[in-house]
Chains A and B, each alone.
Chain A
């Protein structure tokens, strides 16, 4: 009986998809022909639509061959498609359709380049992924991460269409006779209007969609129900198909069955090694500071970095170059404020955002000596030097403090924090060559301290990257560059009173990485696009350092001390390839394959949901780089009428050199940590499906993921396969937004997924009068299914929607049904009347142990006020 649940869910999902498809089938003309003459196509249309075609065969060749696939489409829709295919104009007069040559006849002239930036009309913020299309053709390009576009056209007159989601389209006539730079500004549509339709050419919209790299706009993120006043990045990511959460309150996430340290969050290129506050309850990224979020789950661009499972690329807002802006939010747990202001009007601006917790009232009465808080400070400066040069500087500082003041006023406690800074220089060498040079640094550290003493562990990165984009032709775009990175890892630096035991001396280690990369997009035909990329990586460990060799029994066989310079290195290639096929104007199919590498990993033998004292370890003599082969097939279909889209992705991953741990491995203060690691493989596969309705009073999405993750580590579990912690066969999520009117919105989010795998005892024995568990197969058991329903109501408080001062109130409930989502099971405690179970310590007492379960966050309401000036 228990197994029927997922089946019913799948059937319901399929039924829903079928219903959605049926809803789109209300047109008039159906043609599905390949390699057919124009004349034959026109005959079919005449027969079905009752119209006659009139044209001059001297100009319009009736024998030209083409393919057409439309299903119950309107006449105007079909003619629009034909216009692009035969480069002609179709005019309907009564029952006649007159065909004339296009005003833009194809010439033999040398292609010219039109390039420029697209930005927000009001703020000057450059728009990432905005489209530039040539009306009457299928040609179109997107702006890059800096809002730059470049398109090749033959000399002539064109009408260009500039568009971006949530913005008004702009059509501009261009008479192209030489290479030109044309910057464009677009005006934002009024926000929160549910019936606004997306005015982007369908083809461009579909080309931009990528199931293996979903985008999450900050607006979409903020529309999700909040936890304690904030719709966190990580919680938003966890709602995407293929992304699994650890448990409530955790910032850990798993992508397509990979390990949690196989994901990286980069902000303006700089890595954030621990993107959470308060152990994971809050995400580090301030929503107001974010411009775009893209999650690469597969087919990762060669320019982005080396991770096996995902790269979450966040681009931050530049700031308003036209006028001063002020926004903020406050609730009982935290407050945040953001200011953006023109630095040099029309040319530069600064953006500053600050957030701090204010939950002191929760503990001050009972623990007045405590100092527990977190904070973020984000800053960005951008300046347009001239039309060809622009610079950006971003810095992010974030910290958590758990401290307590003693009688002498000195504070003891634990602090941890991230800092990152990026300096970028955009330079346009010419209409076809765009470059971006970046220097960035990222740092993560935790520090346990008491007056003068401390225990510090950290990781720092310094990088220089030069990236070039060459718009070779309308069919070929090339991206290439070089990146040099240095890593400094300090596993533990300890300063203690001299009369205390000395901790092992664990020296910092240094590594560097040099990467050359290339990523090309090739239009092989009208329907087929090839993406090919390659990273060539040299990873080197550098001295001075003392390291250990281990024998086959993981015992130290040699101790080696090396001086300055490289003492070990790896040279690896990471190729990737994808083919996208345009089935018809409504659907796309994509096949991708890639080999990915990873050189930096977290050593943690803890199943805890919280960020704890972790150690970062680089690839080196004892740790080979992790690698993963990705295979993926994705399908995307757009339903025009109800403005819905359906996407499905199937994937398979095989990862090598996957880290696991010997039983009870110690990762803290362990100079022989490498000897506690065990290496194996991880196989994961799955199917992700999503049906999404973008507009209307009722919109949202439903997604279902079927996935498995299986590990094999020869030195563990008798060499047998075992299911990974993150093996979650079924995941179902539903997000619904309902607009009661222009000022009130309800959002409901429900998710249910299979529980995590864990090891439960298969027996017990006694030693020293204690009950000791025995474990059999690794991860032999599964936690109960996770289920959560969140809801929120958003009320816009300003009288006019377009008023200058905008403010709203959001009431959210996290886990509104108070479902007990189990994080851990224990078998070592005794019950206590009216209190939590505890661990017994008297070995002579008769202790009747119980199984106990721990869960977090049952029903958490919050109320947040936000404003924008």
Chain B
């Protein structure tokens, strides 16, 4: 029996209780404040490419627009060398490395962000990644043409924690550039109750012939802990069994938010037929 089986069984349990529950939209005034902090999104990989770092600020309102940070100095360094990241004016808040390079093993990378006279630093070293499991999908409802992804990743593994970034593209079938989707799956080395009994989620159907690009990021323990907290606070919360809320951990110094991690990545591309 896999963890996913546990989850399906507990879903039954949730449905049984759920028939007596009601959920509806509500106006709720939040006591917000203390925001506009620096947020670092930096997942650098072992692929030879222009690496990117995204900087933004925290904000007060749900659905608010994160202010982009465009005037920071971003540097990645290893003992004896460093690479600068240059702001891309076309995409506010995105900083691209001056040169393409891969993250390599057995090095401690330090990311430094200078912004508004403050210095934010973080370190990471490359994680391992293991082969991508077989990507599977199934027919969506009674539709002959539409498909949905199965939960093709193990929810638990003691030493192969991973994030799966899945892009689904069917714009080539429709001619509409907006016909793309992105979703994430995770494998962690522990089990949270809210993971087992997740709330109702939206469907993500796509037509046959869609291109599926799966990028598997191997995770270090600290980044896995961060990402698990992220999904506990987002995708997993709001079922009948949930963990108490808390802010996410971070490895950004100086009261910054977000995370810097260096990950080994595998990519698989397939066409869903």
The answer for the CA separation of A612 and B16 in the assembled complex, in Å, is 14
Asked whether, in the complex, the Cβ of B25 is within 8 Å of the Cβ of A775, the reply is no
Are B204 and A841 neighbours in the complex by a CB distance under 8 Å?
Answer: yes
Contact A412 B199, beta carbon cutoff 8 Å = no
**Known contacts A663-B247, A848-B63, then 4 further A-B pairs from the complex at CB < 8 Å, ordered by chain A residue:** A606-B242, A760-B31, A762-B32, A845-B181
Annotate B167-197 by CB proximity to A: 1 below 8 A, 0 otherwise: 0000000000000111110000011111011
Partner among B35, B63, B234 whose Cβ is within 8 Å of the Cβ of A774: B35
Assess whether A413 is interfacial by the CB under 8 Å rule. Answer: yes
Residues of A within 8 A of B (CB): 249, 278-279, 281, 362-363, 367, 370, 372, 402, 404, 412-414, 448-451, 453-455, 496-497, 500-504, 605-610, 612-613, 661, 663-664, 666, 668-670, 758-776, 780-781, 820, 823-831, 836-845, 848-858, 860
Question: Could you pull out 19 A-B pairs where Cβ atoms are within 8 angstroms?
Answer: A372-B16, A404-B12, A455-B1, A504-B158, A668-B193, A764-B62, A765-B257, A776-B31, A824-B242, A827-B62, A828-B238, A837-B23, A838-B199, A839-B234, A844-B182, A848-B63, A852-B24, A852-B238, A856-B21
B246 x A664 contact (CB < 8 A): yes
User: In the docked arrangement, what's the CA distance between A110 and B184, Å?
Assistant: 86
Residue on B nearest A858 in the bound complex, by CB: B22
**4 residue pairs, one from A and one from B, having the closest CB atoms:** A663-B246, A453-B1, A450-B1, A826-B238
With both beta carbons as reference points, the residue of chain B lying nearest to A851 in the complex is identified as B28
A763-B33, A764-B58 are known contacts. Are A668 and B41 too (CB-CB below 8 A)?
no
Provide the bound-state CA to CA distance between A17 and B222, in Å.
60
Which of B41, B156, B184, B201 is A843 in contact with, Cβ under 8 Å?
Answer: B184
Q: Give B234 Cβ to nearest chain A Cβ, in Å.
A: 5
Give the secondary structure class of B's interface: loop
Contact B240 A608 (CB under 8 A): yes
Q: Which residues of B contact A372 (CB under 8 A)?
A: 12, 16
Question: In the bound complex, do residue B233 and residue A769 qualify as a contact, i.e. CB atoms below 8 Å apart?
Answer: no
* Bound-state Cα–Cα, A363 to B20, Å: 13
A838 in contact with B200 (CB, 8 Å) = yes
Interface string of B7-49 (1 = CB under 8 A from A): 0011011001101111111111011111101010100000000
- Kindly identify which residue among B30, B34, B66, B237 contacts A826, using a CB–CB cutoff of 8 Å: B237
| B201 and A838 form a contact (CB under 8 A) | yes
CB distance from B71 to the nearest CB of A (A): 18
Given contacts A769-B182, A844-B181, contact A761 B257 (CB under 8 A): no
**For the complex, is B154 an interface residue (Cβ under 8 Å from A)?**
yes
Q: Does B259 contact A (CB under 8 A)?
A: yes
| Inter-subunit contact B190/A670 (CB<8 Å) | yes
Q: A402 and B202: CB pair below 8 A?
A: no
In chain B, residues 49-74, which have Cβ atoms closer than 8 Å to a Cβ of chain A? 56-64, 66
Contact of A856 among B6, B20, B32 (CB under 8 A): B20
B21 → chain A closest CB, angstroms: 5
Instruction: Indicate whether A760 sits within 8 Å of B28 (C-beta atoms), given known contacts A843-B183, A844-B182.
Output: yes
CB neighbours of A769 from chain B (8 A): 182
Given known contacts A413-B9, A608-B240, A762-B30, A842 and B23 CB-to-CB distance under 8 angstroms: no
Contacts of B92 in A (CB 8 A): none
Residues of B within 8 A of A839 (CB): 198-202, 234-235, 238
A503 touches B158 (CB 8 A): yes
Q: Determine the residue in chain B with the shortest Cβ distance to A369.
A: B12
Stretch among B83-91, B105-113, B224-232 lining the A interface: B224-232
| B21 and A761 contact, CB distance less than 8 A | no
CA distance A326 to B237 in the complex (A): 48
A844, B184: Cα distance in complex, Å: 11
Residue of B nearest to A402 (CB): B13
List A contacts of B160 (CB < 8 A).
501
Least Cβ–Cβ distance between B111 and chain A, in angstroms? 15
Cβ-defined contact, A770 with B22, below 8 A: no
Given A414-B13, A497-B1, A842-B182, residue A766 in contact with residue B202 (CB < 8 A): no
Q: Does B142 contact A (CB under 8 A)?
A: no
For the complex, give the distance between the alpha carbons of A763 and B35 in Å.
Answer: 6
Does B129 count as interface, using CB distance less than 8 angstroms? no
A372 to chain B, nearest CB (A): 6
Query: What residue of chain A has the Cβ atom nearest to residue B155's Cβ?
Result: A501
Residues of chain B from 103 to 143 with CB closer than 8 A to chain A in the complex: none
Determine if B79 is an interface residue (Cβ-Cβ < 8 Å): no
How far apart sit A843 and B41, CA to CA, in the bound complex (Å)? 15
Chain A residues within an 8 Å CB radius of B19: 362
B12 touching A668, Cβ below 8 Å: no
Q: Please report the C-alpha to C-alpha distance between residue A662 and residue B41 in the assembled complex, in whole angstroms.
A: 24
Residue among A663, A664, A853 facing the most chain B CB atoms (10 A cut-off): A664
Question: Are B26 and A761 within 8 A (Cβ)?
Answer: no
- Tell me if B245 is interfacial: C-beta within 8 Å of chain A: yes
Given contacts A402-B16, A455-B6, contact A771 B62 (CB under 8 A): yes
Contacts of B196 in A (CB 8 A): 613
Q: Which residues of A contact B158 (CB under 8 A)?
A: 501-504
CB of A556 to closest CB in B, whole Å: 13
Which residues of A lie under 8 Å from residue B150 when comparing CB positions?
Answer: none
**Which residue of A278, A412, A774, A781 contacts B5 across the interface (Cβ within 8 Å)?**
A412
Q: Which residue of A lies closest to B149 (CB)?
A: A841
B75 within 8 A of A: no
Given contacts A763-B35, A857-B20, contact A500 B243 (CB under 8 A): no
Partner of A775 from B183, B228, B247 at Cβ < 8 Å: B247
Taking a contact as CB atoms under 8 Å apart, the answer to whether B191 and A668 are in contact is: yes
A664-B228, A767-B258, A838-B202 given as contacts; is B17 within 8 A of A831 (CB)? Answer: no
Contact yes or no, B202 A841, CB < 8 A: yes
B229 smallest CB distance to A (angstroms): 4
Question: Are B184 and A768 within 8 A (Cβ)?
Answer: yes
Chain B's closest residue to A450 (CB) is: B1
The answer to whether A774 touches B243, judged by C-beta atoms less than 8 angstroms apart, is: no
Evaluate contact between B235 and A606: CB separation under 8 angstroms.
Answer: no
Q: Which of B16, B192, B242 interacts with A666 by CB under 8 Å?
A: B192
CB pair B192 A668 closer than 8 Å:
yes
Determine the distance from Cα of A448 to Cα of B31 in the docked complex, in whole angstroms: 41
B234 near A775 with CB under 8 A, answer no
Asked if A664 contacts B232 (CB within 8 A), the reply is yes
Indicate whether A771 sits within 8 Å of B234 (C-beta atoms), given known contacts A372-B16, A500-B2.
Answer: yes
Quick check: is B209 within 8 A (CB to CB) of the other chain? no
User: If the complex has contacts A500-B2, A764-B64, A842-B182, are A850 and B25 also in contact, measured as CB distance less than 8 A?
Assistant: yes
A773, B245: Cβ atoms closer than 8 Å: yes
Q: B241 on the interface (CB 8 Å rule)?
A: yes
For residue B198, which residues in chain A have a CB less than 8 angstroms away from its CB?
839
Task: Assess A664 versus B229: contact at CB under 8 Å? Given A606-B243, A850-B25.
Answer: yes
Q: How far is the CB of A11 from chain B (nearest CB, A)?
A: 29
- Complex Cα gap A129–B57 (Å): 67
In the complex the two chains form, what is the Cα distance from A454 to B6 in whole Å? Answer: 10
Of chain A, the residue at the smallest CB distance from B183 is A841
The answer to whether B62 touches A775 (Cβ under 8 A) is: no
A612 touches B229 (CB 8 A): no
- With a cutoff of 8 Å between Cβ atoms, the chain A residues found around residue B66 in the complex are 764-766
Cβ–Cβ contact A668 & B190, under 8 A? yes
Q: Which of A610, A763, A850 contacts B59 (CB 8 A)?
A: A763
CA distance A844 to B179 in the complex (A): 10
Chain A residues with CB below 8 A from B229, complex form: 663-664
A825 adjacent to B28 (CB under 8 Å): yes
Q: Which residues of B contact A762 (CB under 8 A)?
A: 30-35
In the complex with contacts A666-B192, A842-B181, A775-B1 CB distance below 8 A: no
Contact assessment for B202 and A842 in the assembled complex, using a CB-CB cutoff below 8 Å: yes
Chain B's nearest CB lies how many Å from the CB of A501? 5
Contact between A828 and B25 (Cβ–Cβ < 8 Å)? Answer: no
Bound CA span A615–B194, Å: 15
Instruction: Give the shortest distance, in Å, between A754 (CB) and chain B (any CB).
Output: 17
Write out the residue numbers on chain A whose beta carbons fall within 8 Å of the beta carbon of B5. 412, 450
Given contacts A839-B201, A842-B202, contact A450 B9 (CB under 8 A): yes
How many Å lie between the Cα of A768 and that of B56 in the bound state? Answer: 12
Chain A residue numbers with a CB within 8 Å of B199 are 826, 829, 838-839
Nearest CB to that of B228 among chain A residues? A664
Contact of A824 among B10, B34, B37, B238 (CB under 8 A): B238
A503 pairs with B183, CB closer than 8 A = no
